[in-house]
Structure 1
Amino acid sequence: MRRTVAPLAHTARELGRLVFVWGARMLYVGPLVAASRHAHHAAQILVAPGGVEVEDGVGGRIRARAAVIPPRVTHGHGACTHGAILFLDGDDASSRELARHAEPRCETWRRDTLDVTVPRDPTPEQARALIRSILSAVALRQPPKPRHPATRRMTAYLDGSDHADLASLSHAAGLSPRQMRHAFARDVGLPMRAYLRWKRLRRALAAVEQGASLSVAAASAGFADSAHLSRVFREQFGMTPTQGLRSVRWLTLE
């Protein structure tokens, strides 16, 4: 069932903004809003058939029809009338593979040979096909490096709680808390605090998907208030929640 985000304004001019959630993957289809430079835990594959400006955090700028942006790399992009962005959560195997060869320069992100069609108002079946086509086109084949068992246990624990018992998990893994934190940051690519911040943001977006206001979504995800959620959202996506979520229709793919 499609849901319109409430209580944000909805106008005819802004129709056609769709987000499909499929496990740890999130596909946005519609007009692209300009995003200032930011970085986040997710890998991002941007497709703009008419081309869009992409910039990195070291002064580079390109115009591309498609770009693969590794996780945790500073980037920004301009606006265009129609395109798609596939977000791959940092824990997704495809995202972890992209992180193995991460480059900070946008010249290495261009994938203009990526040949996929972005429907104007895709059905769930078309959305699944588009996700598969994008992943196939960027040739994600090599498996990511294995994680330490302690890291796997810690990420599983943090998926259900904001407060992990680091001492107990470290002891069970035969590691000191310092070694545990190092293994986590090495395998995940983020310190635990930043990882938790990303997970809270994911929970807030899931609440918005269910029709919650920003205030309710912020409280349910463990943010102090909607202003706190807005600040983290801007840091992660380079835009405000109003810009990024206005008039978006959500659909969860089974």
Structure 2
Amino acid sequence: MTATRSDWQGEAAIAPGIGVFRGLSGNNKAHRHWAHQLSVGLNGPVHFDSPDGQNSFDAVLIPAGSQHCQLESHTLSLYIDPTSHLVSYLHIDVQGDSPWTALSAQTVDRLLQAFPDNCPVTQGLERLLNGSSAGELAPSSRLEKVLKNLKSALEDDRDVTRTDLAGIACLSPTRFSHWFREETGMPLRSYKKWLRLIHALEMAVVTRNLSEAAQMAGFADQSHFTRAVSQAFGIKPRDLLGLFSAEP
């Protein structure tokens, strides 16, 4: 199997803590993102390339931070923030350092029920979020306060330091760094970059203007935003934006 040469075809949707793509995956380079990726093959297996070689799966979990390149496949793919309650709802279980984990039949059933073929992904995403909210597990109060402060700082375009967050968590800065990684599975610096990138994508979907979205999210310029998207998703932001329906 060789790397794909086609454009991405399909539809995408985004909401706080989650993104969804359904369709035919196209051109992308090796990348890694700070979200767990759940991919289900819709017309045969879904194919990936990684430092360990090429692999094919009926349904697979790619843990946050794992490098991969998605080869041409018809797929339903979800990208879930490791701090989201959906990690529990969808039984996402990251096993050690393995870059691939087969999804359980229960998880696959929940995904396919939420995103039937005749349903736009925007409606499927709403169905998934509504269905999962009843059993939503709140994070620890300490983590919840830290995450809330991180997200509000981003929305208010202000910086929040490790020392600031350590104070909220009542920990020393050094202990806070270890605690945050234990709780979320990622370093604080990486998570802050990830939040900024997702915020920029959310703004781009609304404004349909990449330069404006990059500025609103705190990127130095559009080229920095483009590079961040490429590193995280393996494609250019304009190609990614084309998968989202314009907001009314």
Same fold (TM over 0.5): yes
The structure richer in strand per residue is 1
Which residue of 65, 70, 94 corresponds with 1:72?
Answer: 65
Contact 2:208 2:246 in 1 (8 A): no
Larger relative contact order (CA 8 Å, sep ≥ 6): 1
User: Does the C-alpha gap of structure 1 residues 102 and 212 become closer, same or farther in structure 2, counting only changes over 3 Å?
Assistant: farther
CA distance in 2, matches of 1:83, 1:159: 30
CA distance in 2, matches of 1:237, 1:15: 12
Amino acid at match of 2:208: A
The runs of 5 or more residues in structure 1 that have no matched partner are: 1-12, 136-140
**What are the equivalent positions in structure 2 for 1:173-252 lying under 5 Å apart?**
173-249=169-245
CA distance in 1, matches of 2:38, 2:168: 38
User: Does the C-alpha gap of structure 1 residues 16 and 55 become closer, same or farther in structure 2, counting only changes over 3 Å?
Assistant: closer
Residue aligned with 1:153, SS: helix
Amino acid at match of 2:117: P
User: Does the C-alpha gap of structure 1 residues 212 and 244 become closer, same or farther in structure 2, counting only changes over 3 Å?
Assistant: closer
Amino acid at match of 2:218: G
CA distance in 1, matches of 2:103, 2:149: 36
Residue aligned with 2:214, SS: helix
What is the TM-score of this pair, normalised by structure 1?
A: 0.73
**What are the equivalent positions in structure 2 for 1:114-129 lying under 5 Å apart?**
114=108, 116=112, 118-119=116-117, 122=120, 124-129=122-127
Contact 1:56 1:76 in 2 (8 A): yes
Aligned to 2:48: 54
The runs of 5 or more residues in structure 2 that have no matched partner are: 1-5
Q: Deviations over 1:77-117 (max 9, x none)?
A: 1123x4321111222123376364354243x3366894637
How many residues in Structure 1 have an aligned counterpart in Structure 2?
228
Identity of aligned residues (%): 23
Q: Deviations over 1:181-211 (max 9, x none)?
A: 2211221222222111101111111111113
Residue aligned with 1:33, SS: coil
CA distance in 2, matches of 1:178, 1:225: 32
